[in-house]
Amino acid sequence: MRHPEIHSISRVGWLRAAVLGANDGIVSTASLVLGVAAADPTRKGVLTAGVAGLVAGAMSMAAGEYVSVGSQKDTEHADLRRESAELGADPEYEHAELAKIYVDRGVDSGTASRVAQQMMAHDALAAHARDELGISARSTARPVEAAFTSAGTFAIGAAIPLAMAAVVPLTGLIPAVASTSLAALVLLGALAARAGGAMPLVGVTRVAFWGALAMGLTTLVGRLFGAVV
């Protein structure tokens, strides 16, 4: 007997939130630490900025994910209510609409009509939600899950540059934080690509490039600001 197939798309909801949170945690906190260290390299100032960035960033990620994914969920519910009303008002038209969807996918009209009839007899709303609206149990919006996942992974990611800033001597803080954070981003990109079934090199290159750019620009701004002030 064959084992059930496991597809990467089933992970897309939490994986997107987790990668976004961890990536933002590493990049934003490392950039903040590097910018402050370049402008005014005192341990207290760097750590204060880093901790504040961790707390503010985690809460911002949670709120942002909850609001955005919550809006998506509201839209899904509105579409489902509208579809339910249409099914009650004109089931024949909805049957024809569903059959046409199957015909457009390559099924002959007779088979498509029978399949649509059987699917609607089993669960008409679920059939239209999945095949007409693209809403399924796997892809449906989960705002609470997205909020907690992003906030948690942000805090974990932010802890990496913050830990380095706490233990590394001030003279070597900038290269240590930058290199450690970049290595963490590379690892994150590889793990995210593996979990999502994508090519690791693509994920690694993507997060490493933008992370390095953000940290480099913030360090430059910190040096310029420190020199002026």
Give the separation between CA 125 and CA 131, rounded to whole angstroms.
10
pLDDT of 228: 54
φ and ψ at residue 70, rounded to 5 degrees: -65, -40
pLDDT of 164: 93
Tell me the DSSP string of 56-77: HHHHHHHHHHHHHHHHHHHHHH
Name which residue leads in pLDDT, 16 or 213. 213
The pLDDT tens digits of the residues spanning 116-136 come to 999 899 989 988 888 888 877
pLDDT of 178: 93
CA 38, 56, 21, 79 torsion-angle sign: negative
Give 184's Cβ-side CA count (13 Å radius): 27
Domain ranges of the chain: 8-228
Nearest-CA neighbor of 25 among 143, 149, 144, 142?
149
Give the separation between CA 102 and CA 131, rounded to whole angstroms.
9
pLDDT of 22: 87
φ and ψ at residue 39, rounded to 5 degrees: -85, -45
pLDDT band at 8 (very low <50, low <70, confident <90, very high): very low
